[in-house]
Structure 1
Amino acid sequence: MPRVLVNMPTQYGGRPSGVALVAFRVIAGLLDRGTFAVVLRSPWTRDQLPPAIRDRVEVVTVPRPRIMLFDVVRQAVAVPKLCRALNVDLVLNADPYGAAFGARARVSVVHDLYFRTMPGRSRSREALTTDPIFRFVLANSARVITVSESTKTDLCRFYPFVRNRTHAVPSAAMLDPEAYDPAPDLPAGPFVLAVGNAMYNKNFPTLARAVAALDRPEIGIVHVGEDPDEAIATALDDAPVRLTRLSRISEGRLAALYRNALCLCVPSFSEGFCLPVLEAQALGCPVICSDRSATPEIAGAGALTFAPADAGALAACLTRLLDEPGLRTALIARGHDNVRRYDWAETARRYEALMLDALRDAARAQPAQEVPRAHPAP
């Protein structure tokens, strides 16, 4: 059985980011398929891993690097040595901040290109270091996986040398639709739900301005995530809109918020995939989302869309949802149909196929070795 090293040094141990959660789901799917044995190299310890994979993988715990560029250079030496010691056949980099060398082949996953798609918002140091990292690691990857067709388009536009070996493999909903909290402590009154940390790409101030423009004080906003700069409250500018801030809540409470929200709003300027869209659709929550990057692709027909810089357009979508009979029911039905297009078992199957392709290519590229002092052919 071939052995794959899932290489994920950039994530914080015990803190499940989107990258880590996708990696864990892919690992579980690969193990269920039984084609690969898995070694996980990351800052996570065995005890911190999800139960679905905790006792099924070999664990190599490494400290999270402080300077990514230096660590990528270090991995170019350290990971090949580890692969030889553990008889690893293939390296799967969970993101491009990984190993450019090691094993017989490498496959790398790209979740987003915010430093390219929103260059004005990236710190110059970040942009200057991230670009060479991407070029170095992707150039030495036999296959590149993106989480959406939108991200694939962006990647091939900025890095055309990977065009012929890049494949879009979507993720699926993370939240268990059966998750339940018997006492979820829901906010009073109807509310628009926003999920995610208030980074610039999320564009939550546009949501705040749109809800304020509705002039319907009964409609509140519930934000699940961190907002250290108070971007939402600042954009409300003392408008009489109820704002509820939540973070680090249970799956059951988040599921209850989805089930009871007027809608999920995703006003993002840029998204690599956007899991909350599928979580909302799986739980019968209508979706209103930006018409940019991956959000309309992932939401399919199960969403109303708007230009993310136009708070008036978003307000118009919210007004339609409030005032048009049958629209909410139609969006919920179309959302349920859409979310069925995404399945973790299929995601794992496609990862497996691309990894096996990379190993076959590596085998074909291996030159025939001469045998010393061989007898001449008759």
Structure 2
Amino acid sequence: MKVFYDHTAFIPPFGGVAKYHVEVMKRLPPHMYVLSAIGSGNQYLRESGLGHCTLPRHLRGSKYWMTPITAAMMRVAQYDIYHPTTYDAHLQWLPKGKKVVVTVHDLNMVTVPQYYRDVNRVWPSLADQKKVTQRADHIIAVSENTKGDLINYWNIPEEKITTIYHGIGPALKNLSPERVFPFDYILYVGHRNAYKNFNNCLRAFKSINNIHKMLNLVCTGVRFQKNELAQISKLKLENRVFAVSATEEQMARLYRDALLFVYPSYYEGFGMPILEAMQYHCPVVLSDASCFPEIAQDAAYYFDPHNEGKMAEVMLDVIDNVSLRNTLIQKGDIRIRNFSWGESANGHMAVYKSLL
């Protein structure tokens, strides 16, 4: 049995979808899969040792040569199952007789379409997602919440869906005791698309900063866009909000030293940073929407994502209450025992084998 993974999740340098596929592939026998992400500069792929790129940085991850490579490999490689890494699946190059497995991370464009305003980008993407999902011989959902959305919104038969949670690998050891930032901060991780609710998070942080004037907000991922810089300036937070591109080792230290991790999204399919924060003993503060209560259960403190005042109040409670912080850390230590990349990989193996 052999599975073909394409390059599409590995075009950007970061991203939870790429990280998910890397973590699963790391735990599969090397002879069991083919990966066409040749020339990718994706950080997770590079750090895992699964992909090596000698191209100059400004040329890495270009779809203009990665796509033809995938097209050629799909036609000639020996494999039984195609598992596209995103919904931009290249079904047109798939030889007859091959099975298709797709992972559905969320149905955000269906459940919260109001946060996707660029119709020219959103609807082709939604069409791609629906097309590959309906074509798939089996679907992996990353949470029961996502599985329910597939059934309720798209009438996917329940027997065609298997829920497999994301995992958490071993904590990095021998971390430098040096802090990435010397000051106290709240940590925000990931993209800042509209459904991520970053604007409300900024306004909530402004209320907190009025009380804790030396507190900062650290955001990991891409640098701020013009509209975000304008919002930060409007709130007079120019010297209190920072964006940083971090390695896995730096991310571990950022979680370790943060006062809390906040995830304010209106909707998510799973939320891997929740587990990462728990692993490094960082108190977790979450939106009470979608999958979050399913994933974190009682190991997080929740707020209404539409209520920036409540968001600020909950974060202040965690900042000011040492006992509450310690309770959340202890419960997080217990909760993450339920998530394992090894178990996740085993679940994928079972799905693949069931199709042959």
Which TM-score band (shorter chain)?
Answer: 0.7 to 0.9
Q: How many Å apart are 1:322 and its aligned residue?
A: 3.4
Percent identity (aligned)? 24
Q: Structure 1 residues 65, 241: closer, same or farther in 2, change over 3 A?
A: closer
Q: Which amino acid aligns with 2:298?
A: A
Q: Which residue of 1 aligns with 2:18?
A: 20
Q: Which amino acid aligns with 2:88?
A: Y
Q: Which residue of 2 aligns with 1:273?
A: 270
Q: How many Å apart are 1:336 and its aligned residue?
A: 0.7
1:86 aligns with 2:82: no
Runs of 5+ unmatched residues, structure 1: 56-60, 360-378
- Provide the secondary structure at the position in 2 that maps to 1:221: strand
Q: Structure 1 residues 49, 195: closer, same or farther in 2, change over 3 A?
A: closer
Q: How many Å apart are 1:203 and its aligned residue?
A: 1.1
Select 1:151's aligned residue among 129, 138, 146.
146
Q: How many Å apart are 1:87 and its aligned residue?
A: 2.5
Q: Structure 1 residues 174, 207: closer, same or farther in 2, change over 3 A?
A: farther
Q: Which amino acid aligns with 2:10?
A: Q
Matches within 5 A, 1:154-303: 154-173=149-168, 176-178=171-173, 180-188=175-183, 190-214=184-208, 215-216=210-211, 217-226=213-222, 227-231=224-228, 234=231, 237-239=234-236, 243-303=240-300
- Provide the secondary structure at the position in 1 that maps to 2:179: coil
Q: Structure 1 residues 250, 46: closer, same or farther in 2, change over 3 A?
A: closer
Q: Which residue of 2 aligns with 1:6?
A: 5
Q: Which residue of 1 aligns with 2:55?
A: none
Q: Structure 1 residues 311, 232: closer, same or farther in 2, change over 3 A?
A: farther
Q: Which is worse superposed, 237-246 or 283-292? A: 237-246
Per-residue CA deviation, residues 325-345 of structure 1 (Å, 9 max, x unaligned), is 511110000011111111000
Q: Which residue of 2 aligns with 1:109?
A: 103
Tell me how many residue pairs correspond in the alignment. Answer: 339
Q: Which residue of 1 aligns with 2:56?
A: none
- Provide the secondary structure at the position in 2 that maps to 1:87: coil
Contact between 1:225 and 1:245, CA under 8 Å: does it hold in 2?
no
- Distance in 2 (CA, whole Å) between partners of 1:63 and 1:240 is 35
Per-residue CA deviation, residues 305-334 of structure 1 (Å, 9 max, x unaligned), is 111010111122123223445111100000
- Distance in 1 (CA, whole Å) between partners of 2:108 and 2:122 is 10
- Provide the secondary structure at the position in 1 that maps to 2:129: helix
- Distance in 2 (CA, whole Å) between partners of 1:50 and 1:297 is 30
- Provide the secondary structure at the position in 2 that maps to 1:53: coil
- Distance in 2 (CA, whole Å) between partners of 1:230 and 1:164 is 44
- Provide the secondary structure at the position in 2 that maps to 1:106: strand
Select 1:124's aligned residue among 119, 123, 139.
119
The TM-score, its normalising length taken from structure 2, stands at: 0.84
Runs of 5+ unmatched residues, structure 2: 53-59
Contact between 1:219 and 1:242, CA under 8 Å: does it hold in 2?
no
Per-residue CA deviation, residues 114-167 of structure 1 (Å, 9 max, x unaligned), is 322221232212333123322322222111012222222222222213533112
Larger radius of gyration: 1
1:40 aligns with 2:31: no
Contact between 2:264 and 2:287, CA under 8 Å: does it hold in 1?
yes
- Provide the secondary structure at the position in 2 that maps to 1:42: coil
Larger helix fraction of residues: 2
Contact between 2:26 and 2:48, CA under 8 Å: does it hold in 1?
no
Q: Which residue of 1 aligns with 2:29?
A: 31
- Distance in 1 (CA, whole Å) between partners of 2:319 and 2:134 is 50
1:136 aligns with 2:131: yes
Q: Which is worse superposed, 160-169 or 256-265? A: 160-169
- Provide the secondary structure at the position in 2 that maps to 1:30: coil
- Provide the secondary structure at the position in 1 that maps to 2:33: strand
Per-residue CA deviation, residues 248-305 of structure 1 (Å, 9 max, x unaligned), is 2233332222112110011111222212111110000000010112222222221001
Q: Which amino acid aligns with 1:4?
A: V
Q: How many Å apart are 1:196 and its aligned residue?
A: 1.5
- Provide the secondary structure at the position in 1 that maps to 2:326: helix
Q: Structure 1 residues 132, 337: closer, same or farther in 2, change over 3 A?
A: same
Select 1:337's aligned residue among 324, 329, 334.
334
Across the aligned residues of Structure 1 and Structure 2, the Cα RMSD in angstroms comes to: 3.1
